[in-house]
C-alpha cells in the first residue's frame, strides 16, 4: 500500500483528494496537515468523509511527511517551494497542486507572483503534470507540477490543432468560465452567494496568472512560441469549467477531418472524451468525474475552428488529475481510483 501525505488538507483541492483517495485500492492517506486545524478530526470538518478516515490534522512536520511515499501539496502558492527540497532530499516524490513549479522560467514566475522563488533550482526539473502531454516524463519524475484548471481545459482543447500545425499559433483565443470553487475555500466578498448568483462576469482580463502557464504548455505542443488571448469568467455555480477556444487555420480550411483528428489524437487518453458531431459539452456531465469532454466545429465552414471543452475544475482540473499523475508515477493503471461517473442531474 502506497503511503500518502497531504499538505494543506482543508481547502477544496485537499478535501477532493481525500474523497477520491478513499476509493483508491493501492494508496492510503497516512498524514494530513493544517496549521489552522491542528488536532481536529478530518470528518469533523468534512462530514462527507465520516467512516472513511480515522485521521486528525497535524502541524506540517518534515520528518513525519518524509515517511510517506508520495506527498501532495494542496496549498496556495508560496508554500510548497519552501518545503519541497526537504521532501525530495528525504526520498519522497512530490505532486504540487499549486503554481509554485508550473513555470520553468524563474523570472517569469516572479513577475506574475510578485516575489522571488525560494527553490528555483527545481523549476527545470519539475515535470508539468498534464498526462496527455507528458505521460512518459511523469513516470520517472521526482517532482510534478499539477496543471491549473483553466490551463487543463485550454491545452487539451488546442493540442491536436497545434500538434498538427493546422492553425496560426500567434492568434489563439480562449474564453473560459469557472464555478466559484476555483477561487478556493476563502472568505471573500466577491465569492458570496449574493454577489455571484444570477450573474456572469469576466475578471483578470488584463492578465491572469494562468496565462503564462497556458502559453508555455501550448508552445511545448506547437514547438514554437504561442500567443493566447485569455479571458476568464465567473459562473454562478460551485463546480465546473467550460472553455470556448478559437483558432484560425494557417492557410485555407484543411481538407482533414477534424473529428477524426481529435478522436485519433486522444484514443489512448482514458480521461478525454471527444464527443460525436453535433453533441456539445456541458459542465454537469463531468461534475465529480476526472474527465474532459471536447467538441469541435467550424461555424459556417469559414476560416475559424471552435473547440469546446468542459471539466470539473476540482477533479480533472486539480485533485483527480493529481491522482492520475500519482498512478503514472507509481506504474499503476492511470485509471485506478478514478472511475467516478459525472453527476446528473
Per-residue pLDDT reduced to its tens digit, 93-151: 999 999 999 999 999 999 999 999 999 999 999 999 999 999 999 999 999 999 999 99
Sign of CA dihedral 311, 313, 317, 318: negative
Q: If you average pLDDT over residues 3-29, what whole number do you get?
A: 95
Q: Which residues of 298-313 are buried (b: 16+ CB within 10 A; e: fewer)?
A: eeeeeebbebbbbbbb
What is the homologous superfamily of the domain 2-125 according to CATH?
NAD(P)-binding Rossmann-like Domain (3.40.50.720)
The residues, any chain, with a CB within 8 Å of residue 63's CB and separated by 6 or more, are: none
Contact between residue 146 and residue 202 where contact means Cβ atoms under 8 Å apart: no
Residue 131 in grid coordinates: 498526462
pLDDT of residue 189: 80
Chain centroid to CA 175: 17
33: cis peptide before it, omega within 30°? no
Rg (CA), the chain: 20
Q: If you average pLDDT over residues 258-285, what whole number do you get?
A: 97
Q: In the chain, what is the straight-line distance between the N-terminal and C-terminal CA atoms, in Å?
A: 35
CA distance 309 to 226: 19
Which of 313, 239, 312, 308 is CA-nearest to residue 274?
Answer: 308
322 pLDDT higher than 90: yes
Q: Does pTM surpass 0.75?
A: yes
3 pLDDT higher than 70: yes
User: What SS3 state is found at 42?
Assistant: helix
Q: What is the side-by-side strand order in the sheet with 304-311?
A: 201-202, 228-234, 167-178, 241-249, 304-311, 292-297, 272-274
Query: For 192-231, how does the pLDDT look when each residue is reduced to its tens digit (9 = 90+)?
Result: 878 888 999 999 999 999 999 999 999 999 999 999 999 9
Question: For domain 150-313, which architecture applies?
Answer: 2-Layer Sandwich (3.30)
Q: If you average pLDDT over residues 316-342, what whole number do you get?
A: 97
Which among 92, 146, 149, 292 is annotated as catalytic? Answer: 149
pLDDT of residue 195: 84
Which of 112, 256, 250 is CA-nearest to residue 170?
Answer: 250
DSSP 20: H
CA distance 153 to 322: 15
146 is catalytic: no
CA distance 161 to 261: 8
Q: Which residue has the cell 477561487?
A: 183
- One DSSP character per residue, 96-162 reads E-SSTTT-S-HHHHHHHHSS--TTGGGTTTSEE--HHHHHHHHHT-SEEEPPPHHHHHHHHHHHHHH
pLDDT of residue 193: 79
pLDDT range class, residue 186, cuts 50, 70, 90: confident
pLDDT of residue 32: 97
CA distance 110 to 196: 31
Strand locations in the chain, DSSP E? 2-7, 27-33, 70-73, 93-96, 127-128, 143-145, 167-178, 201-202, 228-234, 241-249, 272-274, 292-297, 304-311
pLDDT range class, residue 252, cuts 50, 70, 90: low
Q: For the chain, which residues make up each domain, given as ranges?
A: 2-125, 150-313
Amino acid at each position: 500500500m502506497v503511503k500518502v501525505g497531504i499538505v494543506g488538507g482543508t481547502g477544496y483541492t485537499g478535501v477532493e483528494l481525500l474523497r477520491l483517495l478513499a476509493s483508491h485500492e493501492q494508496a492510503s492517506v497516512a498524514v494530513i496537515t493544517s496549521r489552522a486545524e491542528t488536532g481536529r478530526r478530518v470528518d469533523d470538518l468534512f462530514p462527507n468523509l465520516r467512516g472513511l478516515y480515522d485521521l486528525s490534522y497535524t502541524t506540517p512536520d518534515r520528518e513525519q511527511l518524509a515517511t510517506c511515499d508520495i506527498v501532495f501539496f494542496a496549498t496556495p502558492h508560496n508554500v510548497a517551494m519552501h518545503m519541497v527540497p526537504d521532501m525530495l532530499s528525504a526520498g519522497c516524490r512530490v505532486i504540487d497542486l499549486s503554481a509554485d513549479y508550473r513555470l520553468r522560467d524563474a523570472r517569469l514566475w516572479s513577475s506574475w507572483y510578485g516575489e522571488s522563488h525560494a527553490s528555483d533550482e527545481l523549476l527545470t526539473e519539475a515535470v508539468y503534470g498534464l498526462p496527455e502531454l507528458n505521460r512518459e516524463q511523469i513516470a520517472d519524475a521526482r517532482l510534478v507540477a499539477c496543471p491549473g484548471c483553466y490551463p487543463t481545459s485550454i491545452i487539451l482543447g488546442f493540442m491536436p490543432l497545434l500538434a498538427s500545425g493546422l492553425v496560426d499559433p500567434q492568434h489563439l483565443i480562449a474564453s473560459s468560465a469557472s464555478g466559484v470553487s476555483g477561487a478556493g475555500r476563502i472568505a471573500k466578498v466577491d465569492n458570496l452567494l449574493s454577489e455571484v448568483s444570477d450573474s456572469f462576469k469576466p475578471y483578470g482580463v488584463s492578465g491572469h496568472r494562468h496565462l503564462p502557464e497556458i502559453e508555455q504548455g501550448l508552445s511545448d505542443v506547437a514547438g514554437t512560441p504561442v500567443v493566447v488571448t485569455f479571458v476568464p469568467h465567473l459562473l454562478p455555480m460551485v463546480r465546473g469549467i467550460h472553455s470556448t477556444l478559437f483558432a484560425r487555420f494557417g492557410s485555407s480550411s484543411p481538407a482533414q477531418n477534424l473529428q477524426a483528428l481529435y478522436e485519433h489524437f486522444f484514443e489512448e487518453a482514458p480521461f478525454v472524451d471527444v464527443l460525436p458531431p453535433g453533441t456539445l459539452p456541458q459542465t454537469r456531465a463531468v461534475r465529480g468525474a476526472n474527465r474532459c469532454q471536447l467538441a469541435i466545429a467550424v461555424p459556417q465552414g469559414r476560416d475559424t475552428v471552435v473547440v469546446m471543452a468542459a471539466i470539473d475544475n476540482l477533479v480533472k482540473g486539480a485533485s483527480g488529475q493529481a491522482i492520475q499523475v500519482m498512478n503514472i508515477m507509481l506504474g499503476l493503471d492511470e485509471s485506478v481510483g478514478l472511475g467516478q461517473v459525472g453527476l446528473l442531474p
